[in-house]
A and B are shown apart, each in its own frame.
Chain A
Amino acid sequence: MRDGLVELLDGRLGTTAWLSHGMPVIEIGAGQLPEVVRVLRDELGFDMLLDVTAVDWLGRTPRFEVVWHVFSTRDCQRLRIKTRVPEEASEVDSLVGWYGSAAFMERECHDMFGIRFRGNADLRPILLYEGFVGHPLRKDYDKHHEQPLVPYRDTADRGTQGGPR
């Protein structure tokens, strides 16, 4: 089905489709997302959403790429959907209306990359904590920047109970 799928997607959705390491990939415009997802789920049988994530191409415009993986339990077939999102309006449509599992994964993606999902009513932090500033998987987030919740002990006091330091 794989090779056929690429042609089918090309024709059916009017998008660019190709095989990447054996997995079909389509790249769509952000506005096409609801229509593409409707066709994929209701007509082509991609009934399971596996993942929502993003890629930060720092220095490129548009900066972000949001990536979804869907799976067809009928055909045992995976498919990757990508769309480009600019930094100044990093917002795409939420898929919670189609796939319930999107809710948590979109929360995580919002945590890590700051992508907002229109239609997801609950974008509270899920892996991060309340009060965390910034989005740690963005390439311009300083990897040594810590945001501790507990004030650190006086370092001069460390090891006073007899530890090796």
Chain B
Amino acid sequence: MNGPDKRATIPIAAAGSPPKNPVFDVFTTKKDEVVGWARKFSLFPYPFVTACCGMEFMSVSSTIYDTDRFGAALPRFTPRQSDLMMVVGTITHKQAPVLQRIYEQMCEPKWVMAFGVCATSGGFYNNYAVLQGIDKVIPVDIYVPGCPPRPEMVIDAIMQLQERIANEHHVILKGDF
């Protein structure tokens, strides 16, 4: 161990222990990749479904298109257990405080997908009632336009998001892990 920082460290080999197995060295050089690989296949989506895109969400998450293949199959209906918020449909100004509250209740790390053109930019609803894109209220990681988006577009978005997650550095990975 180096330095006084003892937070969130999981020692794999205690200091002064016998030399590491060379196989394990290979593992540790790729640790970001391994953790990223594991994380990208364990997305727990929270479907914030407000409008007709919900039909498309059902289609993309059920048998034929099957987001289970990407590890994003199990919707959690509480924001506290989820890490991907899929905002599916039109968000009105009246709903915006609810959306923000739900987002704040999610634990880090968290990602947001704007599913459909209404969530992305307000779509063709440019009037007194509709929020012109959820990114005015909460940060958005990936935008899927379309009215509604094709299932292939949603899958592509999930794959791009996975790509990003896989290349992220996780905070638990310190020098000694």
User: Which residue on B lies nearest to A152, using beta carbons?
Assistant: B136
* Chain A CB within 8 A of B32 CB: no
* Chain B CB within 8 A of A31 CB: no
Contacts of B142 in A (CB 8 A): 163
Interface locus among A2-10, A58-66, A91-99, A142-150:
A142-150
Does B94 lie within 8 Å of A149, measured CB to CB? Answer: yes
The one of A128, A143, A150, A159 that contacts B126, using a Cβ cutoff of 8 Å? A143
Q: How far is the CA of A128 from the CA of B128 in the complex (A)?
A: 10
Does B128 lie within 8 Å of A148, measured CB to CB? Answer: no
* Chain A CB within 8 A of B137 CB: yes
Would you give the 0/1 interface string for B118-159, flagging 1 where the beta carbon is closer than 8 Å to chain A? 000000001111011001111111110000000000000000
Would you give the 0/1 interface string for A65-92, flagging 1 where the beta carbon is closer than 8 Å to chain B? 0000000000000000000000000000
The one of A128, A148, A162, A164 that contacts B96, using a Cβ cutoff of 8 Å? A148
Shortest C-beta distance, A63 to chain B (Å), equals: 20
Q: How far is the CA of A164 from the CA of B140 in the complex (A)?
A: 10
* Chain A CB within 8 A of B80 CB: no
User: Which residue on B lies nearest to A130, using beta carbons?
Assistant: B94
* Chain B CB within 8 A of A139 CB: no
Contacts of A165 in B (CB 8 A): 135
Q: How far is the CA of A157 from the CA of B143 in the complex (A)?
A: 16
Does A136 lie within 8 Å of B128, measured CB to CB? Answer: yes
Shortest C-beta distance, A125 to chain B (Å), equals: 9
Shortest C-beta distance, B67 to chain A (Å), equals: 20
User: Given A143-B126, A146-B128, A164-B143, does the pair A153, B137 have CB atoms closer than 8 Å?
Assistant: yes
Shortest C-beta distance, B21 to chain A (Å), equals: 37
Shortest C-beta distance, A52 to chain B (Å), equals: 20
Q: How far is the CA of A147 from the CA of B127 in the complex (A)?
A: 10
* Chain A CB within 8 A of B93 CB: yes
User: Given A150-B100, A162-B164, A163-B142, does the pair A145, B137 have CB atoms closer than 8 Å?
Assistant: no
Q: How far is the CA of A159 from the CA of B96 in the complex (A)?
A: 18
Would you give the 0/1 interface string for A122-159, flagging 1 where the beta carbon is closer than 8 Å to chain B? 00000011000000100001011111111011010111
Contacts of B126 in A (CB 8 A): 143-144
* Chain B CB within 8 A of A20 CB: no
Interface centre among A129, A146, A147, A159 (most CB of B within 10 A): A146
The one of A129, A144, A148, A163 that contacts B140, using a Cβ cutoff of 8 Å? A163
The 8 closest A-B pairs by CB, nearest first: A136-B128, A152-B136, A150-B96, A129-B94, A161-B141, A161-B139, A158-B135, A150-B137
